[in-house]
Amino acid sequence: MQQQSDALPDSARRVADLLKTLQHDKPVIMLPSAGRTSAEAAAGLGCSVAEIAKSIIFRRLSDDAPVLVIASGSNRVDEAKVAAQVGPLGKADARFVREKTGYVIGGVCPIGHAVKPLMLLDRDLFRYDSVWAAAGHPHAVFNLTAQQLQAMTGAPVADVALTATDVPTPN
């Protein structure tokens, strides 16, 4: 894993600079292979999938505002729970994600967006001593606590996970 900031791609270097401005003491790390999914990132880091703070972007239908849900990698986001808090949602395609966040899918960082999103932070992230978040590039991540993530983003903590009782069972 690389940690030299001069070896970072531009988008990850921008995140590293922002983290430095925020006085965050952990470096941006480049994974040898892409961390586009929580499972890929966890495998590259040697942590559990649940310790990945994945960024899911939705489009609020009423005004096209970006909605960012930062969820535990092991959780499936319940769109109905998110919509109940921010309004009806639509899918965000790759162009919308890039335009609104400044990042590509698979590298959406919880901070430093082109357009400030509405945000929700999965309460399940607080179960872990630390979590890993994308740092602006599919290979780039950084480590922090859920408390630091909340302080950096100002996102309200919410129940955003689909639970086993929410999943319909086949007949």
The Cα–Cα gap between 24 and 34 comes to: 23
Chain mean pLDDT for the chain: 90
167 pLDDT above the threshold of 70: no
Confidence check: pLDDT of 8 > 60 = yes
pTM of the model: 0.88
Band (1; pLDDT cuts 50, 70, 90): very low
In the chain the domains, ranked by start, together with CATH numbers, are 5-161 (3.90.960.10)
| Six-digit token string for 4 | 């030299």
Residues constituting the chain: 171
So what's the pLDDT on residue 168? 52
User: What values do phi and psi take at 68, rounded to 5?
Assistant: -110, 120
